[in-house]
Structure 1
Amino acid sequence: MFIGSHAVSEGRITRRRLTRGPYVRVLHGVYADVSVPRDHALRCRAAALLMPAQAALGGRSAAAVLGAPAPGWRDPVTVVVPAPLTWRGPGGVRVHRTDFSAGDVVDDGSGLRHTAPLRTTWDVAALEPTGTAVSVLDAMLRAGTVRATDLSALLRERSGRRGSRQVRRVLDLADPRSESPPESLVRVACVLGGLPAPVPRYDVVEDGRWLARVDLAWPGQRVVVEYEGEHHVDGVQIVRDDARLARLSASGWLVVRLAASDLRALDDVVARIRAALAERSTRV
């Protein structure tokens, strides 16, 4: 990866080849070989070439560097800069001006500066929509990147600061039992929609026989939600899933099946689950 203007001025490449050659423009002025995978990590490294020395990757971008689920290729890179700086960044970079100490920033060993885990968690919770923030925090807690006790202590320390109310809301909703962002998003949408909180990764056991581990469950109403991601389109996996869900249905559980397309309309998802819970409540 390289800054195009630098490569041209140093005679390493012509401007014609830069624009017509086998390169992809990652961010304005930054290019990479077309064979390099186009993901958020590439965009983060492009931003690192442009941002001031005092700046660091932050928010979801820092969380991705730390191992949390990464934003998509088209999603902006989040960069935090000390409040006095006025750097705006190119298109595709979201700049957040804030105060942070030396202890809030770490270097990954390759020159990539990003916020430390606790500071990253705070910024994700404060800056991102609630569902997105919870999904990132669920992953960081599950991986052990941060601990709930440390987050609670940080919240007490920063109580009253801007964004602290939103951070508390995210921390209250976080649950490391959720194993994927879609599970977290649906769970949070249900709670924010006024439904009882579901149990993530619930083991369904009937008469001492284990039937399945499901994504989300309301055991009292015997309702489960199963999210079917891309791996579910595999022929063998489809057969296994259908057999597993058939066992649940045969045992009296109502199964709500969701696909990736359903996540574009979470209000509709919540309405489906609400109807399922209401149907079962009338039978109790």
Structure 2
Amino acid sequence: MSTKKSRLLEQSERIHFESTKVALLRKRAETLARCREAQSRTSRQLVFGLDTALELLCIEVPREVEEQLRLRRRAPFPSSASTQCSPSNGWRDEAAEPTPAEDLVILADSRASRRRMRGLRCVQWSHPVETITSCGITCVAPLDTWLMFASYVGLTELVLLGDAMMRRDADMRWLSLDDFDRRMREFERDLEYKGLSAPRGLRNCRRALRLMREGADSPPETQVRLLLESYGLPCPAVNMPVDVTDERGAKQRYYLDLAFPQWRVAVEYDGRHHAEAWENDQRRIKLLGDAQWSLINVTRNDLYEESRREGLVRSVVDRIARRGGKVTPLGMPMSLRQLTDRRRSRARLGDREGQ
């Protein structure tokens, strides 16, 4: 005799809530087991790279990065890549045909060292790389992994991935902006010294550095920030700490996803809390409101629907205006490349004025 289930119970069997940290640890354990199995099939030390390295390092892979990789693996490199991705240029893809997205990625430093093994996808990178070995498995270190991703993804994805390596949470943070800038300078000097051409996408790495910010908690926060900046709004502070006083006179510290402190306007992505946190959320909103902060909540749909993106920008501009500020948004958003060019021009102007 079968027992009928309620609709809520049926939903609970399909939906599993998992914190970002727990998800990263689970994914690392799964990937580590697969890497160990692959390593057991060869006596040569394998070096894992790209998204496999990110999973081994417990670095969140933004959804947009995953989608770009999935698209690239469904099709071979374009014919123009034959010159841009030659071994002398630092990058070459072993796969001549589409490979399964779930294949592990391993690194080779030359044509002779490339490996063909079941379940592995080999890419060639002719430049020296920093590696990390943990639990007997070796992978490319975060900075060089980010550099390699420039051959696979666009400017937006590089910014998202860079921010993911500079999380506010100390448990998830690997790097600082200074670390990225220092590695870029070292890499460019190495190219010049050896007379090598730059790998595909290296210019985007330099552009991405002008847009990346330390201290974000999630890729959607970075996307919201880039959206506001693309419409000409000033760059908001990322996860700015705010101290408020509760009903008993005790100090409470909250972090605002994106804040314009000069006007006490904050923009927060609403996607990280579950129902059990509702009461704490409401108390947080109340205390921040008592401290004269104006909060704007953003949802996933606000990011992926054009009319709602424009509506979000108007809301932020309106809240700023109510606080006595004046920000004039652009009629059409800039591309991220245009935004980096504008930022570089302003930096050069500032240098001239300083002189």
| Corresponding position: 1:46 with 2:34 | yes
Q: Unmatched 5+ residue regions in structure 2?
A: 1-24, 71-100, 189-196, 246-250, 325-355
Amino acid in the other structure paired with 1:161: A
Aligned residues: 242
Q: Unmatched 5+ residue regions in structure 1?
A: 1-36
User: Is contact 2:154–2:204 with CA below 8 Å preserved after alignment?
Assistant: no
Q: Which residue of 239, 242, 249 corresponds with 2:282?
A: 242
User: Is contact 1:61–1:71 with CA below 8 Å preserved after alignment?
Assistant: no
Q: Which residue of 291, 294, 297 corresponds with 1:254?
A: 294
CA distance in 1, matches of 2:146, 2:164: 11
Gap change, CA 1:247 and 1:148, over 3 Å in 2: closer
1:106 offset after TM fit, Å? 3.7
1:146 counterpart residue number: 175
Gap change, CA 1:45 and 1:196, over 3 Å in 2: farther
| Corresponding position: 1:164 with 2:189 | no
Amino acid in the other structure paired with 2:34: A
Gap change, CA 1:43 and 1:226, over 3 Å in 2: same
CA distance in 2, matches of 1:67, 1:107: 14
More strand by share: 1
1:84 counterpart residue number: 111
| Corresponding position: 1:68 with 2:85 | no
Residue deviations 1:2-44, cap 9 Å, x none? xxxxxxxxxxxxxxxxxxxxxxxxxxxxxxxxxxx97365246
| Corresponding position: 1:274 with 2:301 | no
CA distance in 2, matches of 1:203, 1:130: 29
1:275 offset after TM fit, Å? 0.8
Q: Secondary structure at the match of 1:188?
A: helix
Q: Secondary structure at the match of 1:39?
A: helix
1:114 offset after TM fit, Å? 0.9
Amino acid in the other structure paired with 2:158: A
Gap change, CA 1:220 and 1:148, over 3 Å in 2: closer
Q: Which residue of 128, 133, 136 corresponds with 2:153?
A: 128
Amino acid in the other structure paired with 1:140: M
Residue deviations 1:76-131, cap 9 Å, x none? 4544333526667778x765432233x53343242x22112331232245533444
Gap change, CA 1:188 and 1:135, over 3 Å in 2: same
2:237 counterpart residue number: 199
TM-score (normalised: structure 2):
0.54
User: Is contact 2:31–2:55 with CA below 8 Å preserved after alignment?
Assistant: no
User: Is contact 1:132–1:185 with CA below 8 Å preserved after alignment?
Assistant: no
Higher mean C-alpha deviation, range 187-196 or range 218-227 = 187-196
User: Is contact 1:79–1:95 with CA below 8 Å preserved after alignment?
Assistant: yes
Amino acid in the other structure paired with 1:199: A
Matches within 5 A, 1:17-36: none
Q: Secondary structure at the match of 1:216?
A: strand
CA distance in 2, matches of 1:87, 1:254: 57
CA distance in 1, matches of 2:36, 2:303: 32
CA distance in 1, matches of 2:230, 2:279: 34
CA distance in 2, matches of 1:197, 1:246: 26
1:197 offset after TM fit, Å? 1.2
1:241 offset after TM fit, Å? 0.9
Gap change, CA 1:191 and 1:139, over 3 Å in 2: same
1:216 offset after TM fit, Å? 1.0
State, as a whole percentage, how many aligned pairs show the same letter: 24
CA distance in 2, matches of 1:194, 1:118: 30
Residue deviations 1:43-92, cap 9 Å, x none? 4643664588575322233133223224689974544333526667778x
Q: Secondary structure at the match of 1:127?
A: coil
Amino acid in the other structure paired with 2:130: D
1:155 offset after TM fit, Å? 1.2
Computed over aligned residues only, the root mean square deviation of the Cα atoms, in angstroms, reads 3.9
Between 1 and 2, higher relative CO (CA 8 Å, sep ≥ 6) is seen in: 2
